Amino acid sequence: DQQVKQNSPSLSVQEGRISILNCDYTNSMFDYFLWYKKYPAEGPTFLISISSIKDKNEDGRFTVFLNKSAKHLSLHIVPSQPGDSAVYFCAARVTGANNLFFGTGTRLTVIP
Amino acid sequence: GAGVSQSPRYKVAKRGQDVALRCDPISGHVSLFWYQQALGQGPEFLTYFQNEAQLDKSGLPSDRFFAERPEGSVSTLKIQRTQQEDSAVYLCASSSSIAGVEETQYFGPGTRLLVL
């Protein structure tokens, strides 16, 4: 069963506009969430994370929002740039556990 | 660079052949993880090492899969008698802290395995 879900396989956004990538999870024990970015033929690269004690974390153009009651998190990229075009994976973990659970990814295309 | 490296980057194997995939983690990183990523899916956890100890192998799909990290640095994932369903990208990740805390896992580029 897929405990972390990214229901949008792809997203296209105009350069300069906001990109919003969504992620839902089912396991209420998850308490740490991460976003990874992946370019073709490369491994996932860590982007930003958030602990369940927060509802927002910001790093430059990237902001992650967490809604625990809805078991939903989102990644906002603003302004979007062509170099942001990649596959974005949402991941989650239970503190004390060893592994990350990943979603299936969303392919973001930023159109110049 | 000082990132995680993996070799080979691509491997084609005939069904039934044994393969060995290598991971060189970031120097000094305590934790090492192996993940399997099937086409169109996210990475799925296979196994975890803390230094040379394999603390979790709950994600290994069968006893044909075996991983080791004898000196607490380089790790090898071995797949015996490969099957077509083993075709995937195998990702290695390392982390400076023990698993289970708010650490970041740094991933290598992966080994793409194709079993014919």
Q: Nearest Cβ partner of B42 from A32, A42, A104?
A: A104
Among chain B residues, CA nearest to A93? B100
Q: Do A98 and B99 touch (CB under 8 A)?
A: yes
- Binning pLDDT at 50, 70 and 90, where does residue A1 land? confident
pLDDT at A95: 80
Structure tokens at A77: 């990229």
pLDDT at B17: 97
- Binning pLDDT at 50, 70 and 90, where does residue B1 land? low
Among chain A residues, CA nearest to B9? A41
CB B46 within 8 A of CB B65: yes
Residue A2 has pLDDT above 90, yes or no: no
Residue A76 has pLDDT above 80, yes or no: yes
pLDDT of B90-100, one tens digit each?
A: 999 999 877 66
Beta bridge partners of A24: A5, A72
Mean pLDDT of chain A: 94
Q: Could you please report the per-residue DSSP string of B27-50?
A: TT--EEEEEEE-TTS--EEEEEEE
Query: How many whole angstroms separate alpha carbon A70 and alpha carbon B49?
Result: 34
Beta bridge partners of A108: A11, A86
**B93–chain A Cβ distance below 8 A for any pair:** yes
Mean pLDDT of chain B: 93
**B8–chain A Cβ distance below 8 A for any pair:** no
A-B interface: how many C-beta pairs under 8 angstroms? Answer: 58
Q: Nearest Cβ partner of B104 from A41, A46, A96?
A: A46
Cβ-based neighbour number of residue A105 at 10 Å = 24
**B30–chain A Cβ distance below 8 A for any pair:** no
Residue A98 has pLDDT above 80, yes or no: no
Cα three-residue angle A46-A20-B43, rounded to 5 degrees: 40
Q: Could you please report the per-residue DSSP string of chain A?
A: --SEE---SEEEEETTS-EEEEEEE--TT--EEEEEEE-TTS--EEEEEEETT-SEEEETTEEEEEETTTTEEEEEESS--GGG-EEEEEEEE-TT-S--EE---EEEEEE-
Residue A109 has pLDDT above 60, yes or no: yes
Among chain A residues, CA nearest to B31? A98
**B39–chain A Cβ distance below 8 A for any pair:** no
pLDDT above 70 coverage of chain A, percent: 100
pLDDT at A51: 92
CB burial of residue B71 (10 Å; 0-12, 13-18, 19+): exposed
**A39–chain B Cβ distance below 8 A for any pair:** no
**B91–chain A Cβ distance below 8 A for any pair:** yes
pLDDT of B42-85, one tens digit each?
A: 999 999 999 999 999 999 999 999 999 999 999 999 999 999 99
Q: Which of A35, A6, A11 is nearest to A109 (CA)?
A: A11
Partners of A96 on chain B (C-beta within 8 Å) are 100
Residue A46 has pLDDT above 90, yes or no: yes
- Binning pLDDT at 50, 70 and 90, where does residue B105 land? confident
Average confidence (pLDDT) over A32-38: 95
Q: Do A43 and B93 touch (CB under 8 A)?
A: yes
- Binning pLDDT at 50, 70 and 90, where does residue A33 land? very high
Q: Nearest-CA distance from B106 to chain A in Å?
A: 7
CB A93 within 8 A of CB B35: no
Partners of B106 on chain A (C-beta within 8 Å) are 46
Q: Which of B2, B9, B30 is nearest to B104 (CA)?
A: B30
Residue B23 has pLDDT above 80, yes or no: yes
Q: Which of A59-68, A86-95, B44-53, B90-99 has the lowest mean pLDDT?
A: B90-99
pLDDT at B104: 83
